[in-house]
């Protein structure tokens, strides 16, 4: 599987976060989510080594992992 990496993703999420809440909901566990999101937001090859990198979690107001949405939807919780 190949995931396209775009340097515009942080800019997009930052722009949205200025006017609205941004959340991430996934069925994946935290370790997998962290690995994928770190990969998607890692631009160290493009930036100078001294440039501080903003953690991917800072782009979201709420992060829900292992959410089992089908179970919650089936119980009528949403």
Find, among 51, 67, 49, 50, the residue nearest to 10 by Cα.
51
Residues 50-77, mean pLDDT to the nearest whole number: 76
Q: How many CB atoms lie within 10 A of CB 37?
A: 19
Measured CA to CA, the distance from residue 75 to residue 43 in angstroms comes to 41
Look at residue 60 and tell me if it is in a domain: yes
Predicted TM-score (pTM) of this structure: 0.72
Domain that residue 15 falls in: 8-74
- The model's confidence at residue 4, banded by pLDDT at 50, 70 and 90, is confident
| Residue 35 included in any domain | yes
Domain count, the chain: 1
- pLDDT tens by residue, 18-47: 999 999 999 899 999 999 999 888 865 555
The answer as to whether 3 is a domain residue is no
């Amino acid at each position: 599987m190949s995931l396209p990496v775009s340097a515009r993703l942080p800019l997009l999420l930052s722009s949205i976060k200025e006017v609205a809440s941004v959340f991430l909901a996934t069925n994946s566990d935290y370790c997998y989510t962290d690995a994928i999101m770190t990969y998607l937001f890692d631009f160290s090859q493009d930036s100078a080594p001294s440039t501080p990198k903003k953690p991917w979690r800072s782009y979201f107001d709420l992060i829900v992992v292992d959410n089992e949405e089908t179970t919650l939807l089936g119980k009528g919780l949403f």
